[in-house]
């Protein structure tokens, strides 16, 4: 297929019929020829507004220019100076609503494939010899709570500034939502492990199996363990349920449970791995965000014959990335728009058998700025299901806030933190990511982690002098 200057060079993907049967990565990545061609589409604007669309402010035209001229070491260096997780962000960022939305090309043509190029450079970097080890040059120890996107980025940035950093992770492996939530076919664990390896080479220590708020208190990190500052990146891991009848039936689970069993615990390798996950023939996933797309596409790979998304609003209000939605359609996922679940019905043994729904129509805009779904009277119907997976959102985990005094949260349970610095209501305690914003994106969490790292550096410097 000839490449066209007016169009974004398409990402090569695996055949939908083949890929929907395994957990191998869907996107294959650009070839060198693709990458150079795509990089040459960049107009190198005098005032690159794409950079403003990036939460970590990657100097986008600079790295793309380096790709165009074939200088991949320079491209990698530029990327990494702004974003400690380029191989991850290049895969999971919603570029269409961030950098690429701002691209000047979009006035007449497709935007430059910034995300695809970021991935290309980061993947090239992974084929190179590992970076040299570095050791911290400063004496103030910093603790990061949670090894998810915001914590990893914050730790990486602090290590670059010379601080000895320890990340405390509650689970047995680091990565947070990148490990338990995002499936292998979208973000291979080898990529995640490599990015974490880079942080370790920079001198970051990762301690798993420690729950701050349970194993150690936040105050003890300062008083007993000698940390000078703390960053909280505990995410929004608490799954929400609908509160409709039948949610305790067997076969009904949160998307977090479904995805954790498969991604973190490798349920797809059962019985080789020990954690099972039972997936029936018909799986209905409720919700239409990225987590819902991950869950519904995972169910196909686990052997579901029919994988459905049930969403009370319409296609237009869905919050999933465009690419995930398209991939789901290609793989045969069916979408029930304007469909509101009312009740889950089960058999005598207590297993879910059908989902009772109601047809909706769109009304005026609600508080979220999206059209409010309104029930259509008498439109109830049933969908036969074996599993119902709830992907209707998550809220911050209260483990830490329940056991820490003086840490303010808002009515939704999110930590109160300064928008620019991430400073919480406690001195020298900073926070960022979903724990502050509620469930959002990897890159917003990364941006918050990076800003907090800079603010921590300033706060510590001000204290010394």
Partner 1 sequence: MARILETRRLTPVTKYFRLDAPLIAASAKPGQFVMLRVREGGERIPITIADYDRAAGTLTIVVQEVGATTQRVCALEAGDEILDVVGPLGSPIEIPPGGHVCGVGGGFGSAALLCLMHQFTERGDRTTAILGARSKDLLILVDELRPHCNNVEVCTDDGSAGFKGFVTQRLAQLVAGEGPGRPDHVVAIGPMAMMRAVAETTREAKVKTLVSMDPLMVDGTGMCGGCRVTVGGKAQFACVDGPCFDAHQVDFDVAMRRNKQYVKEEKQALERLACRAAREAH
- Residues of the shown chain interacting with partner 1 in the complex, contacts defined by CB under 8 A: 170-172, 180, 208-211, 214-217, 237-239, 241, 247-248, 250-251, 253-254, 256-257, 260-261, 264-266, 269-276, 278, 349-350, 397-399
Cα 406 from Cα 120, distance rounded (Å): 45
Pick 43 or 208: Cβ nearer partner 1: 208
Least Å from the CB of residue 161 to partner 1: 28
DSSP 263-332: IIS-GGGTTTSS------SEEEEE--SHHHHHHHHHHHHTT-SEEEEE-SS-GGG--S-HHHHHHHHHTT
CB of 212: closest distance to partner 1 in angstroms? 11
CB atoms within 10 A of CB 19: 21
**Pick 71 or 257: Cβ nearer partner 1:** 257
Minimum CB distance to partner 1 smaller for 57 or for 403:
403
Q: Are 292 and 285 in contact (CB under 8 A)?
A: yes
CB of 418 to partner 1, least distance (A): 26
Q: Which is nearer to partner 1, 74 or 264 (CB)?
A: 264
Q: Which residues contact 215 (CB under 8 A, 6 or more apart)?
A: 209
- Report the nearest approach of partner 1 to the CB of residue 376 (Å): 29
Least distance between partner 1 and beta carbon 131 (Å): 27
Q: How far is the CB of 458 from partner 1 (least distance, A)?
A: 32
Crossing angle of the two packed helices 32-40 and 60-68, in degrees rounded to 10: 130
210 vs 371, beta carbon nearer partner 1: 210
Spatial CA neighbour of 148 closest among 192, 116, 188, 110 = 192
CB 42, CB 5: distance < 8 Å: no
Instruction: Give 362: exposed, middle or buried? Use CB within 10 Å, 0-12, 13-18, 19+.
Output: middle
Q: Is 179 helix (H, G, I), strand (E, B) or coil?
A: helix
Q: Residues, the chain, total? A: 465
Of 353, 189, 331, the residue nearest 273 (C-alpha): 189
What's the CA angle centered on 411, arms 406 and 417, to 5 degrees?
50
Closer to partner 1 by CB, 37 or 270: give it: 270
What does the block give as tokens for 32? 């060198």
- Least distance (Å) between residue 273 CB and partner 1: 4
Give the nearer residue to partner 1 in terms of CB position, either 239 or 447: 239
CB of 277 to partner 1, least distance (A): 9
Provide, rounded to whole angstroms, the least separation between the CB of residue 168 and partner 1.
11
d(CA 147, CA 212): 12
Secondary structure (DSSP) of 448-465: HHHHHHHHHHHHHHHHH-
Nearer to partner 1, 190 or 250 (CB): 250
Nearer to partner 1, 171 or 284 (CB): 171
What letter does residue 83 receive in the DSSP assignment? -
């Amino acid at each position: 297929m000839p490449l066209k200057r007016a169009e974004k060079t398409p990402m090569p993907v695996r055949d939908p019929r083949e890929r929907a049967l395994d957990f191998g990565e869907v996107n294959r990545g650009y070839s060198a020829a693709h990458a150079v061609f795509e990089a040459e589409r960049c107009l190198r604007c005098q005032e690159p507004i794409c950079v403003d669309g990036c939460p970590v402010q990657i100097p986008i035209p600079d790295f793309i220019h380096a790709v165009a001229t074939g200088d991949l070491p320079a491209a990698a260096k530029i990327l990494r100076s702004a974003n400690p997780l380029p191989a991850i962000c290049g895969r999971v960022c919603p570029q269409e609503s961030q950098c690429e939305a701002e691209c000047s090309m979009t006035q007449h043509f497709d935007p430059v494939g910034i995300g695809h190029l970021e991935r290309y450079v980061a993947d090239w970097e992974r084929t190179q010899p590992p970076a040299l080890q570095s050791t911290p040059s400063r004496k103030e120890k910093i603790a990061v709570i949670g090894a998810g996107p915001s914590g990893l980025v914050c730790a990486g940035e602090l290590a670059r500034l010379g601080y000895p950093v320890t990340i405390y992770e509650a689970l047995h492996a680091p990565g947070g939502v990148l490990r338990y939530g995002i499936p292998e076919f979208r973000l291979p664990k080898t990529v995640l492990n490599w990015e974490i390896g880079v942080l370790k080479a920079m001198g970051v220590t990762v301690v798993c199996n420690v729950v701050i708020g349970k194993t150690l208190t936040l105050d003890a990190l300062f008083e007993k363990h000698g940390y000078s500052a703390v960053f909280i990146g505990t995410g929004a891991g608490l799954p929400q349920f609908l509160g409709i009848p039948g949610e305790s039936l067997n076969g009904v689970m949160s998307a977090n449970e479904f995805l954790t069993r498969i991604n973190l615990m490798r349920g797809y390798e059962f019985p080789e791995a020990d954690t099972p996950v039972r997936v029936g023939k018909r799986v209905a996933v409720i919700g239409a965000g990225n987590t819902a797309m991950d869950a519904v596409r995972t169910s196909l790979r686990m052997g579901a014959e029919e994988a459905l998304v049930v969403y009370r609003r319409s296609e237009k209000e869905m919050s999933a990335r465009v690419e995930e939605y398209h991939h789901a359609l290609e793989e045969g996922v069916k979408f029930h728009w304007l469909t509101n679940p009312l009740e889950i019905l089960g058999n005598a043994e207590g297993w879910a058998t059908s989902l009772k729904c109601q047809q909706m129509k769109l009304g005026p805009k609600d508080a979220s700025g999206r059209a409010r779904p309104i029930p259509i009277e008498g439109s109830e119907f049933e969908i036969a299901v074996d599993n119902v997976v709830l992907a209707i959102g998550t809220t911050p985990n209260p483990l830490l806030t329940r056991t820490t005094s003086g840490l303010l949260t808002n009515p939704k349970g999110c930590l109160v933190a300064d928008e620019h610095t991430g400073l919480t209501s406690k001195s020298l305690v900073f926070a960022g990511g979903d724990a502050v914003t509620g469930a959002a994106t990897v890159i917003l969490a990364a941006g918050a982690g990076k800003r907090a790292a800079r603010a921590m550096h300033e706060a510590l410097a001000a204290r010394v002098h």
